Amino acid sequence: MSARRVRVGIDTGGTFTDVVAVDEETGHTTTTKTPSTPADPAEGFLTGVRKVLDLLGIPEGEAGGAITAVSHGTTVATNQLLEGRLDRIGFITTEGYESVLEIARQSVPDGYGNSYFWVKPPRIVPADLVRTVRGRLDHHGAEVRPFDRDDAVAAARFFRDAGVTTLGVCFLHSYANDAHERAMLEVLEAEYPGAVVSLSSRVLREYREYERSVTTLVDAAVKPRVGAYVENIRRRLDGIAPGVPFYVMKSNGGVLSAAEVVHQPITTMLSGPAAGALGAALIAGTAGFRRVLTCDGGGTSTDVTVVIDGEPTLTTEGSVGDYPSKIPMIDVVTVGAGGGSIAWLSPEGTLKVGPRSAGADPGPMCYPSGGDEPTVTDAHVVLGRIPPHLLGGEIPLSVDAARAGLAALGRTLGLSLERTATGILEISAWNQANALRQVTVARGLDVRDFTLTTFGGSGSLLACRLMDILGLTRTLVPPNPGNVSAFGLLTVDVRNDYVQTVVSRHADLDLDRVKAVYGELEGQARAALDGEGFARDAQRMIRTADLRYVGQAFEVRVPVPDNDLAAEDSDTVAQAFHAAHRQLYGYDFATDPRQAVEWVNLRVSGIGPIRRPDVAELEPRDGGSDRSVTGSRRVFFDGWVDTPTYDRPDLAPGDVVPGPAIIEEFGSTVPVHPGFVATVDRFGNLLLTKETD
């Protein structure tokens, strides 16, 4: 039996599956990649496990004793929603509220002036699959009208007879009292035991009926597929490493055991992007940077987020595709600007890039079995920005195929090959820059105050151009940038979030009620962490609250002391709200007694900490950056120039690489443009800066 103890992180992306293993004794990391398998994502996952075991020299028969845990980031739920692959779903709600999905919200995209013909997004449940039940609670949870069991039985039998196997239940004010929803579940278990059911009081115990209804229905919609996917991996993983703990990344920046994820599938919506943000936050923080913009470029999309003081920002105002989701998630903005993003012509004849992607199958035109439309990757390979192969030669790329595709597009536009390729990259760079502005400028932050951290297979290819567009002074590129999301999976604590709506003006706040609710939420969090195997003295509770000015439609989240709350503590929370409101919106009413503050939601995050891997320092070496020069090739920047190529693993702390240069490693490439310089720090990060006179 092997004496080694390793943890494995696996991130399944649209094009590649990334794998990182960390030795818990030495802190040494081993990385690899393998093409994703969209038809069966579990196949790419298991191939990645086998590849990393082979690199570690661990036979499959000994893997069960060597691997202490496997953590996984997946896009199964996200892709199902984005692609609209939803089975028929039934919706059970309170009598009189059958049109809540149709009414939705009066939220017009892009402003009214540009939306004369705006049509609301399609309902997740058609009107003929909505059934109502008599019974009513008020907003305090008191029963106004009793639950009607006959209506409930009729609804259950209707869906059973119609063959609708997935159901969402959302009754009015069930966030305050879940008695009626529990009664509905009892009826469904008796009348329709084969149904998959999600209750709003278990998915999102928070007010706003429309968002709670849609969030519950999304949870129900993805539950069968996520459950089957996770169970499939769990079963097949047992064939390689029997009994190894298996965790799945959640959108809130934590992980959860696979056994529990099947009951909370909506929590995996932004699984992969969340892991990348956390991995980048740890790497950049270790290097001394506390205000960071993460830019995770993959084959299909680019995900960006903000990290302040080592923590990615969270939101409950996110959405996936057309569907709002109120669950806590890392505040990620995704744009269809990845390596596989397709360049195409609009009906007006203008060049567009994305959001359609060639993905892993068929892939860009330069791939061995590539598609028939040019992509961002094709533009990079034609301009010499990336070598004519990927993954150290595992995937050869055809420069001729890419040139033919871009030349045909260029003829339509009346542009040369070089101008067509650079135009594609320029549009992609501006798409990414706009996403970075959304998570900074739109949140009241100055983008120039941050260090950009680029990773993912394609994340660093446009780093220099992003610095020019946004006025950034520095970009950090971690070692093995294509595997940062998988590395992030190894840095993640077990985390569960709980919320309870308790609306009250600050001046009338019942502190005993607030303390009681926090106690209930912490009790739920501790019970969940007990089930995950964390001792009580290791568990950590984080309290927050959502506050607003009376009359506002949205709230601002602020921290709450974890002591026995006194009046002065609640006043401190209100002052923190004023400050946060000013930072976000540019004003506050801290000195205006006419504008009252209102508490809306109380939140608790239960944390089960894990040991994070160390970020290793590189050994110093003599010889300077020249030791890592592997040759040169013609690369197009402002013109064609003979450009040296560097092997990144041969670079050492203190090495300086002036542009123009191409720095290559197994999973990614960093073009250093003319006028820029890359410096290697003691952790092996590349720091891109503008050359100084």
pLDDT at 509 over 90: yes
pLDDT at 113 over 50: no
For the beta carbon of residue 145, count every other beta carbon within 10 angstroms. 12
Which amino acid would we find at residue 285? G
The model's pLDDT over 4-46, given as tens digits with 9 standing for 90+, comes to 788 899 988 767 788 999 887 777 888 888 888 877 888 989 9
Work out the pLDDT band at 118, boundaries 50, 70, 90: low
**What SS3 class is residue 445?**
coil
Cβ-contact 250, 497 below 8 angstroms: no
Residue 141 Ramachandran class (φ > 0 left, ψ -120 to 50 alpha, else beta): left
Contacts of 551 (CB under 8 A, 6+ apart): none
Residue 232 token pair: 């499939």
Q: Which residues pair with 656 in a beta bridge?
A: 679
Q: What angle do CA 464, 465, 470 make, to 5 degrees?
A: 100
Residue 542 phi/psi, 5-degree rounding, is -120, 125
**CA 674 vs CA 319, 455, 461: distances in Å:** 40, 21, 14
What is residue 420's predicted lDDT score, i.e. its pLDDT?
A: 96
* Mean pLDDT of the chain, nearest integer: 88
Name the DSSP letter for residue 34: E
Length of the chain: 693
pLDDT at 115 over 80: no
Cβ-contact 231, 259 below 8 angstroms: no
What is residue 334's predicted lDDT score, i.e. its pLDDT?
A: 80
Residue 526 phi/psi, 5-degree rounding, is -65, -40
The model's pLDDT over 587-597, given as tens digits with 9 standing for 90+, comes to 999 999 889 99
Element (H, E) at 217: helix 209-238
Cβ-contact 18, 485 below 8 angstroms: yes
Which amino acid would we find at residue 475? T
Work out the pLDDT band at 2, boundaries 50, 70, 90: very low
What is residue 333's predicted lDDT score, i.e. its pLDDT?
A: 84
pLDDT at 122 over 80: no
The larger pLDDT score, comparing residue 571 to residue 337, is at: 571
What string of H, E and C letters represents the secondary structure of 350-388? CEEEEEEECCCCCCCCCCCCCCCCCEHHHHHHHCCCCCC
Of 250, 257, 254, 255, nearest in space to 234 by CA: 257
What is residue 1's predicted lDDT score, i.e. its pLDDT?
A: 41
In the block, tokens 């690899």 appear at 32
What is residue 107's predicted lDDT score, i.e. its pLDDT?
A: 56
Number of helices (H), then strands (E), belonging to the chain: the values are 17, 37
**What SS3 class is residue 601?**
strand
Which amino acid would we find at residue 471? G
For the beta carbon of residue 141, count every other beta carbon within 10 angstroms. 13
Which amino acid would we find at residue 460? S
Average pLDDT over residues 185-197: 95
Residue 539 phi/psi, 5-degree rounding, is -75, 145
What is residue 116's predicted lDDT score, i.e. its pLDDT?
A: 45
Q: How far apart are CA 595 and CA 548, in angstroms?
A: 10
**What SS3 class is residue 401?**
helix
